[in-house]
Amino acid sequence: MEIIHSPGQMTAWANRARQSGKTIAMVPTMGAFHEGHLALMRMGRSRADLTVTSIFVNPIQFGPGEDFDKYPRDLKRDGGMAATAGVDVLFAPSPAEMYPTGFQTTVSVTGLTDTLCGRSRPGHFDGVTTVVAKLFNIVKPNLAIFGRKDFQQLAVISKMVRDLNWDVEIVGHPIVREADGLAMSSRNAYLSEAERQSALALSKSMQQARQRVQAGETSAGQLIEETKKFLQGHPGVAIDYVSIVDRLTLLDQTDINRDSVLLVAARVGTTRLIDNTVLFDEQ
């Protein structure tokens, strides 16, 4: 596996790969790899000739007081893991190379970013779309893979690509969970043992909601109230939002249907966690 730091060298590599007829899958990440990231990389390998994973803790998607400074960074460990997953290139640029002095451009998707996490984290998605746009231009992937745990992020990036006629296929990978149901996240590393137990309430609330829908519940309002009550019953869990939305528009729903997704964001201690589930099994 090759490690490339310079955007110019990364683009030169991508141009050579494309000129020789190879397809490129990209897995954009902020590092601190876990099994969920490795699953995305393995999917990349199965879908394209070459796989590039980027590691960049993107300063412009963190708000004031968020965890930018403490976000785990360990290139050596991550590099070893990416190599075992069969990644061809690890692209790890520096903030100064990504945002040189005088950088003045923002890529912004409106509407979809006003709700859910966008409401609690103003400016976050502009940071995400700006860096992903840059990464796509540098790496020139044929397809890019994102985890469905960040459901809104996947919807926003898909919309950016459609709106800007980008010739990149956006692929969502199912959420990868720990054996006890906790959705894998680099931020789980912040949780104490007691907080980790409380955090299980999120995935349990998803399972419970799916069971209620299977049993015939069709009211989004009722299911949201029940999910909130369940989460409030777990000490240390502070709800940010519980919403049921249409999976494409992210608009709130009143009646549950095959396009309904339940999304939850909550703080456990100081750690902000998210989870989501479709409410009907996918066909």
Burial 27-53 (b: 16+ CB within 10 A, else e): bbbbbbbeebbbbbbbbbbeebebbbb
- Measured from the CB atom, is 81 or 209 closer to ligand PAF? 81
Q: Report the alpha-carbon distance of residue 218 to residue 244 in Å, rounded.
A: 11
Q: Are 132 and 157 in contact (CB under 8 A)?
A: yes
- Measured from the CB atom, is 172 or 206 closer to ligand PAF? 172
- Measured from the CB atom, is 150 or 279 closer to ligand PAF? 150
Q: Among all chains, which residue has been given the structure tokens 């456990």?
A: 268
- Measured from the CB atom, is 132 or 264 closer to ligand PAF? 132
By the 10 Å C-beta count (0-12 exposed, 13-18 middle, 19+ buried), 21 is classed as exposed
Sheet holding 169-173, edge to edge: 2-4, 89-91, 50-55, 24-29, 143-147, 169-173
The residues annotated as belonging to the active site are 37
Residues that bind ligand PAF (CB under 6 A): 28-30, 58, 61, 128, 131-132, 150, 153
SS (H, E, C) 61-90: HCCCCCCCCCCCCCHHHHHHHHHHCCCCEE
